[in-house]
Amino acid sequence: MKLGIYIHIPFCNKEKCDYCDFYSIPVHTDSNDWHKMIANYLALLTAEIVYYSEECSDYVIDTIYIGGGTPSLLESYHYEIILNTIKKYYAIVPETEITLECNPEHYSLQYIKELQSVGINRFVLGVQTLDQKSHEYIGRKPKLANKELIEEFCNIPDITACIDLIVGIPKQTVSNFVNSLNTIIQYKPKHISAYILTFEKNTPLSSRIPHWKRFLNYQRTMFEKTITILTSSGYHHYEISNFALPQFESRHNCKYWNFEEYIGFGAGAHSFYNNRRYYNSNLNDYLHNPFESRTEDIRTTKDIAIEFLINKLRLIDGFFIDEFYIKTNYLPSSSFKKTIEQLIVKGLLQCDIIDGQENLRCTHEGMFMLDSVLFELMSSL
């Protein structure tokens, strides 16, 4: 059985970006407190990795993803310690995909090569935008990336270079965005994630811009442009927000969307393996005792069915209906089937017969109305 590993680095440099609602703690990396904290955190993190290795002995590891927060705050030797611990206590396949998120402010060719030397082979550069005004509008804290940085990054040998972008930032013109996207595409990163800007509750961005819904039509236009440009440039649109050159899809993130197993380590990390879900608590509790910070997340059959739909309908290929019933143990109901039929009539879902099985997926229009599609499906469960 295959298992992914997620490592959470819950720290950001000085302050969080205004739009971010991920779990992270701002720190000052030039202080003595930071060096003590990261040493303590790594000691507990590696202890947690060792602690759960026995119950994962039947698995082989084929993906490792290091996210945050800001993983690039750490030095390469920190990751050498983490990865050596995993390699010592877990069975790892030779072609394991090992990913690390990196901010432009921490990027250097030397840093990437150091990380590459300890085993990391896939890097996600958090570009988000090349436009200064957009950068300031969303309250992005790391420095603005430029095309020279992106060109160098995309040409590093023997790594999978990935770019993260934010689409639909108000005040950015369509032509400006298209020019930025074409600038990035010319260097052929292997993977591009293009997320529509969301105004999450209780973030500084949503507080500054409470009437954000007026931008929805503009955001759709921008995302339509993104899809057209990327697919015409050879990128495979495999998940709503993700595009890859052939064979370079994120194997780790596909585990989440495909309802496959993974184990998370670090404060705030989540896990799904042995048919159970767990989550780790906040940093304070984790630092006190990482082994007591893990809580089982008990789900009802309906909860599992909802989670399946939320994840699987993000995939462009959708899912087989029989798979839904098998993986969720949900018993088909007449109201659920009727809702699917209604959504097909509305042109939001499409059902195809593939190898004799019913496959359900969002149409192009359904993809843009996924929240409404999910609401109707969940209401019928």
C-alpha closest to that of 93 among 49, 61, 50? 61
C-alpha closest to that of 371 among 167, 208, 213? 213
The model scores a pTM over 0.85? yes
Q: What angle do CA 87, 50, 249 make, to 5 degrees?
A: 50
Residue-level pLDDT at 27: 81
Residue-level pLDDT at 116: 98
Q: How far apart are CA 110 and CA 116, in angstroms?
A: 10
| Burial of residue 22 (number of CB atoms within 10 Å: 0-12, 13-18, 19+) | middle
Residue-level pLDDT at 227: 98
Residue-level pLDDT at 19: 76
For 145, which DSSP code?
P
Residue 165, C-beta contacts closer than 8 angstroms, at least 6 positions apart: 127, 128, 129, 181, 184, 192, 193, 194, 195
Q: How far apart are CA 207 and CA 213, in angstroms?
A: 13
- Over residues 254-308, the pLDDT tens digits come to 999 999 999 999 999 999 998 889 999 899 899 988 888 899 999 999 999 999 9
C-alpha closest to that of 195 among 104, 71, 314, 373? 314
Task: Give all domains of the chain, ordered by start, each with its CATH number.
Answer: 2-256 (3.80.30.20), 301-379 (1.10.10.10)
CA torsion, ordered 91, 94, 97, 103, to nearest 10 deg = 100
- Over residues 2-46, the pLDDT tens digits come to 999 999 999 988 777 877 777 777 787 778 888 899 999 999 999
Read off the tokens for 221.
Answer: 């236009």
- Give pLDDT < 50 ranges for the chain: none
Residue-level pLDDT at 315: 98
Read off the tokens for 248.
Answer: 């370079």
Residue-level pLDDT at 301: 92
Residue-level pLDDT at 209: 72
Residue 25, C-beta contacts closer than 8 angstroms, at least 6 positions apart: 10, 11, 12, 69, 283
Read off the tokens for 58.
Answer: 């039947």
Residue-level pLDDT at 215: 79
Residue-level pLDDT at 104: 94
